[in-house]
């Protein structure tokens, strides 16, 4: 076995690989950009090398720098994780030339499956069913639009070198085709350096079912059953599960055999995933599944396969790369129970899943009740340079219902403050009746999005705790314990204080009276209520409200605080009582960058008349495009940025005026 390997990645997957390597007694080498100098994966590795500034093109994508780190450290092999260089055949060949083993498939196999159009042609030759569509070389926009018309709308435009939902656009109306094509091409070029696309028929009720395959250099190939990844938004997976709900044994065998056939067609060695799309308009049927693509690497969702099979897929990768045969034959593989994985991201679900940045002032993950794969710790920063994943929360149970219940409990126990997350959205998905019953397809989230992102109203108990915490913060001494100074309240008289709180769009001035012995009278919307603080342990508080005892966690972060209670996180602002109100943000006269990003397209200029919701700016952040629209009817008074300009969160991009005279 290898003595030392280098992990050419970052975040949770780097930590995941390092953990298995340590288990096998293999020394590990990490690489890091300037933004990751103090990252968790760097601390876990035996040694680490700086490879450049934060942008990936200047660090994690620099082949020569990574090979030099291998030379200096004596690493015999490189594990690429996923993303970055994991599916780059030129990187594989550069390693081979340097005498370093790539822990993954050959460059030839990666090239065979790296371009979606070529891969589909290859699968057709191997008698693997493919989605109807156009996979040719002609990229003329008018020609592609004609092909879409022949295929029949709706269609899906896909960057041929794409992955992770990037460079994909669904088109329902022929009039929208050319704009969607331009967007897919730009995103494909930005993410993969290839703007060419293919056009496919969009199935109206599809399920995304993929098969984990493994091959070795001795001609063996097996599958480790299926995963259902149908819960998606923007073509990106949100919650994955294994096995697929409602999968007939006969169809499982047929799909597994097709996946192994696909792997053998390219002499595949290592971990890979054959992704299929199934038309479930008439339920799961063995004659209605189609090859979409092959990912020639380990998948983000591989832990659900590990939990149902009991196999360590990273260990399999290391053994196969070292030249060993597959650890098990097909007839030795079996699965039991059910597993789910939820991807916890720093993103704002109610605001269109915009990526978020910030410092993880408080991070408590359910590591006692779930497997948690994470690359961050409390105090770490979520930056705009990389994928905003915080953790993967993975559970296993004897049945689907039991596993889903464990996932919901784990999500409700997740606490993150300092950065907005999608935890509430994930929990809402777990409570969704259709998902709970196994009736899933890739359109579920879009159909019920309004319900899934609806934020619960802040309960009065949480308002009271926020008021107590806000007043307790008037004399901070150490840490961020919001109740640190409560003991200093006068206990011999009814001291009155007021806490100014921003709760959603409402500003409330909450009166609190100290009654002694940690008893407080809090004036709430429904009247006065008596709260007794029973116990304070750091951020956790146990309290009694008129005979009802409960607990919560209250964390101060930035200019607000978060109350974690009953499986929900309630964010409450603490406005500056001495500051002046800023009404400009609510006037609808400006288009403001909601995150740091690159201005890709400006579709209007000074003096142009625009309509409400008209697309004005396309901002690229974290390799995804975000369209910013006009907040109202009006005229462009001034444009403050140019295409190609990098902007920060909160930058005013352009301003609207009422009419031509005002613009002048």
Alpha-carbon separation of residue 534 from 488, 516, 548, 556, 663 (angstroms): 16, 13, 12, 20, 61
The three-class DSSP label of residue 5 is strand
Residue 576 burial (CB count, 10 A): 8
Residue in 207, 227, 297, 400 annotated catalytic: 297
Cα 527 from chain centroid (whole Å): 42
Cα 240 from chain centroid (whole Å): 12
The alpha carbons of the chain give a radius of gyration, in whole angstroms, of 27
Asked if residues 29 and 2 have their Cβ atoms less than 8 Å apart, the reply is no
Q: Kindly state the tokens that stand for 224.
A: 């480790």
Asked if the peptide bond before residue 243 counts as cis, ω within 30 degrees of 0, the response is: yes
Q: Kindly state the tokens that stand for 116.
A: 């979606």
Asked if residues 224 and 311 have their Cβ atoms less than 8 Å apart, the reply is yes
The three-class DSSP label of residue 56 is helix
Query: Has 234 been annotated as catalytic?
Result: no
DSSP 479: T
Angle between helices 89-97 and 63-73 (to 10 degrees): 40
The stretches of 473-616 forming alpha helices (DSSP H) are: none
| Burial (CB count within 10 angstroms: exposed 0-12, middle 13-18, buried 19+), residue 222 | buried
Asked if residues 304 and 228 have their Cβ atoms less than 8 Å apart, the reply is no
Asked if residues 285 and 211 have their Cβ atoms less than 8 Å apart, the reply is no
DSSP 455: P
Q: Which of 14, 178, 186 is nearest to 83 (CA)?
A: 14
Three-state SS string across 333-365, please?
CCCCCEEEEEEEECEEHHHCCEECCEECCEEEC
What positions carry a catalytic annotation?
297
């Amino acid at each position: 076995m290898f003595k030392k390997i280098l992990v050419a990645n970052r975040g949770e997957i780097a930590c995941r690989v390092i953990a298995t390597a340590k288990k096998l007694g293999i020394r590990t080498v990490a690489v890091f950009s300037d933004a990751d100098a103090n990252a968790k994966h760097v601390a876990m590795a035996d040694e680490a090398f700086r490879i450049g500034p934060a942008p990936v093109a200047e660090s994690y994508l620099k082949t020569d720098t990574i090979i030099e780190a291998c030379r200096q450290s004596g690493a015999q092999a490189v594990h690429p994780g996923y993303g970055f260089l994991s599916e780059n055949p030129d990187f594989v060949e550069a390693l081979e030339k340097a005498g370093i083993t790539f822990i993954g498939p050959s460059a030839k196999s990666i090239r065979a499956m790296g371009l979606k159009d070529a891969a589909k042609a290859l699968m057709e030759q191997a008698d693997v069913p493919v989605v109807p569509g156009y996979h040719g070389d002609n990229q003329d926009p008018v020609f592609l639009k004609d092909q879409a018309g022949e295929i029949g709308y709706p269609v899906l435009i896909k960057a041929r070198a794409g992955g992770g939902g990037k460079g994909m656009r669904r088109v329902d109306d022929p009039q929208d085709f050319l704009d969607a094509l331009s967007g897919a091409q730009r995103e494909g070029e930005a993410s993969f350096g290839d703007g060419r696309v293919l056009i496919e028929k969009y199935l109206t009720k599809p399920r995304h079912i993929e098969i984990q395959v493994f091959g070795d250099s001795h001609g063996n190939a097996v599958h480790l059953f299926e995963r259902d990844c149908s819960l998606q938004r923007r073509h990106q997976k949100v919650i994955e599960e294994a096995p697929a709900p409602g999968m007939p044994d006969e169809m499982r065998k047929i799909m597994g055999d097709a996946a192994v056939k696909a792997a053998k067609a390219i002499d595949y060695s290592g971990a890979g995933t054959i992704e299929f799309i199934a038309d479930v308009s008439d339920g799961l049927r063995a004659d209605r599944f189609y090859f979409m693509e092959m990912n020639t690497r380990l998948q983000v969702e591989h832990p659900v396969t590990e939990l149902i099979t009991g196999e360590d897929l990273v260990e399999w990768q290391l053994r196969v790369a070292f030249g060993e045969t597959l650890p098990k034959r097909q007839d030795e593989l079996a699965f039991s129970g059910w597993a789910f994985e939820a991807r916890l991201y720093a993103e704002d679900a109610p605001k269109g899943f915009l990526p978020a940045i910030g410092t993880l002032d408080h991070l408590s993950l359910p590591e006692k009740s779930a497997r948690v794969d994470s690359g961050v710790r409390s105090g770490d920063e979520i930056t705009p340079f990389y994928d905003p994943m915080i953790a993967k929360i993975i559970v296993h149970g004897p049945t689907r219902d039991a596993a889903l219940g464990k996932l919901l409990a784990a999500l409700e126990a997740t606490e993150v403050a300092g950065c907005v997350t999608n935890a509430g959205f994930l929990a809402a998905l777990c409570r969704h009746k259709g998902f709970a019953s196994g009736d899933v397809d890739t359109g579920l989230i879009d159909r019920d999005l309004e319900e899934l992102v609806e934020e619960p109203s802040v309960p009065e108990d949480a308002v009271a705790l926020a008021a107590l915490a806000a007043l307790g913060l008037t004399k901070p001494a150490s840490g961020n314990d919001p109740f640190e100074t409560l003991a200093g309240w006068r206990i011999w008289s009814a001291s009155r204080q007021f806490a100014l709180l921003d709760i959603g769009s409402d500003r409330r001035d909450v009166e609190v009276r100290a009654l002694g012995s940690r008893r407080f009278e809090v004036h709430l919307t429904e009247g006065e209520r008596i709260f007794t603080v029973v116990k304070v342990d750091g951020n956790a508080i146990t309290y009694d409200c008129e005979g009802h005892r409960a607990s919560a966690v209250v964390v101060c972060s930035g200019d607000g605080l978060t109350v974690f209670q009953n499986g929900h996180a309630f964010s409450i602002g603490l406005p500056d009582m001495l500051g002046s109100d800023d009404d400009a943000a609510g006037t609808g006269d400006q288009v403001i960058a909601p995150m740091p990003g690159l201005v890709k397209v400006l579709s209007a200029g000074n003096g142009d008349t625009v309509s409400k919701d008209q697309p004005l700016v396309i901002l690229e952040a974290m390799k995804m495009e975000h369209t910013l629209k006009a907040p109202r009817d009006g005229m462009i008074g001034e444009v403050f940025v140019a295409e190609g300009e990098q902007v920060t969160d909160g930058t005013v991009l352009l301003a609207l005026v009422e009419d031509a005279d005002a613009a002048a």
